Amino acid sequence: MFKSKADGFYETVILQSINAQSKSVSQTYLSMEFPGNYPTNIADYTTIQHTIPKSQGSTGTCWCFAATSFLESEIMRQQSLSIDLSEMYFVYWEYVDRALDFVKTRGETYFEQGSEANALKRLIPKYGCVPESAYPGKPDYREFHSHSDMLAEMKTYLAGVKTAGEWNEKLVEASIRSILDAHMGEVPEQFTYNNQSFTPQSFYASLNVDVLDCFSFMSTMSAPYGQKAELVEPDNWWHSDDYYNIELDDYYQIIEESVKNGYSICICGDVSEPGYDSSKEVALVPDFDIPSEYINANSRELRLYNQSTTDDHCIHIVGYQDVGNETWFLIKDSGSGGFDGKNKGYRFFHEDYIRLKMMNIMLHKDAAKSVLDEIIK
């Protein structure tokens, strides 16, 4: 059926809170009818420890909210500590790194809000991390993050740098940080947490969790299986080739086994499908798209090749439920659509949607041991 786009959490809450007008136009979109009921009762799910859902506001920073949420769950799992980390601390430094790369590539670097979850493996060793209380990353008067004006200002500045050919890294870094400081606030060099003084580096060390123990996986026929390769996506602007490419059966096996063994997973993929609905809170593959028995490496690759599957959104798997012979996954979602339904900040994904439409994952290496042992010998 065709549905008319209705105002959701983004239009009625986020935009109103930042005094912005919705720019959406009246449109219809293709959707399945969603007959019957779906397993959307969180109490029925076996859950993994995780922090409460947070909205990413009017930003394209799902990569960081999902990856930070995953890291918080790892701290809970490994150290039995519940810590609310600052997502915006990582976002700040991501913009800085990206601007410096813009200089190095003479303006060829893709400069937007999106990135990949494994950016934390690059950022944390360089910059450490801080709790949310040390760096909220927004003015006190603002309830939700909003980066459109800030991004436009940075892009205008960098366009001027490119036009003038002023490839001065120190000057560009100082200018970009000045813009970030004005919109997000200055990042702390030292702060107090639980009556102790920390730097971002010493705070990270105190957590006793190694972000480099987190590995990334994908499944595509465009690269050799059993080897690392680049995730070819604009958001992978630094061309990370740190993704283990594995066969689809192994890819899904890692996901299901990990969650059932108590490991959460950061997962990224496509969320613009007729079987993906904000109000119903579910993601599934309609049979008019492809019957379940035909979901395999070939059908997955077709969608990657024709770009009907793209890396739209990063989320966090924090639970599961077996319904008959099928598995549903509990998703923690920072996107505005994740707050449209009754379970604020959560969605529910059918296993077929994971197989067909979700492009890459990041999880602790121990959770993927069965597959890694076959690759790393």
Maximal C-alpha separation, the chain? 63
Q: What pLDDT, on the 0 to 100 scale, is given for residue 267?
A: 98
Residues 90-117, mean pLDDT to the nearest whole number: 98
Lowest mean pLDDT among 5-9, 122-126, 150-154, 287-291: 5-9
Residue 340, CA distances (Å) to 7, 220, 285 in order: 9, 32, 20
Q: How does strand 196-198 pair with strand 227-229?
A: unpaired
Q: At what angle do helices 169-184 and 148-164 cross, to 10 degrees?
A: 160
What confidence tens digit (pLDDT) does each residue in 300-329 have?
999 999 999 999 999 999 999 999 999 999
pLDDT of residue 51: 98
Number of neighbours of residue 77 by Cβ within 10 angstroms = 17
The residue segments making up the domain with residue 21 are 2-375
pLDDT tens digits along 59-90? 999 999 999 999 999 999 999 999 999 999 99
Mean pLDDT across 213-233:
97
More confident call, 191 vs 370? 191
Residue 107 has pLDDT above 60, yes or no: yes
Q: Contact at 8 Å (CB) between 187 and 92?
A: yes
Distance (Å, rounded) from C-alpha 283 to C-alpha 343?
Answer: 14
| Rg for the chain, CA atoms, rounded | 21
Mean pLDDT over 233-252 rounds to 97
Which pTM does this prediction carry?
0.96
pLDDT band at 238 (very low <50, low <70, confident <90, very high): very high
Distance CA 377, CA 372 (A): 9
Inter-residue contact 332 to 346 (CB < 8 Å):
yes
Q: Return the pLDDT at 24.
A: 57
Query: Closest by alpha carbon to 86, among 120, 49, 41?
Result: 120
- Which ranges in the chain belong to alpha helices (H)? 9, 15-17, 62-79, 87-104, 119-127, 148-164, 169-184, 200-207, 248-260, 297-305, 351-357, 369-375
Contact 229, 347 (CB under 8 A): no
Regarding predicted confidence, which is higher, 5 or 365?
A: 365
Tell me the C-alpha to C-alpha distance, in Å, between residue 147 and each of 80, 112, 141, 152, 337: 34, 10, 15, 8, 18
pLDDT at residue 376, rounded to an integer: 81
pLDDT category of residue 268 using cuts at 50, 70 and 90: very high
User: Which residue is associated with the tokens 């293709």?
Assistant: 30
Question: Is the per-residue pLDDT at 22 higher than 70?
Answer: no
The yes-or-no verdict on residue 363 having pLDDT over 60 is: yes
CB 234 within 8 A of CB 110: yes
Q: Which contiguous run of DSSP H or E holds residue 263?
A: none
CATH of the domain at 338: 3.90.70.10
Share of the chain above pLDDT 90, in %: 92
* Mean pLDDT (the chain, rounded): 96
Task: Report whether pLDDT(373) > 80.
Answer: yes
The number of domains in the chain is 1
202 close to 127: Cβ distance less than 8 angstroms: no
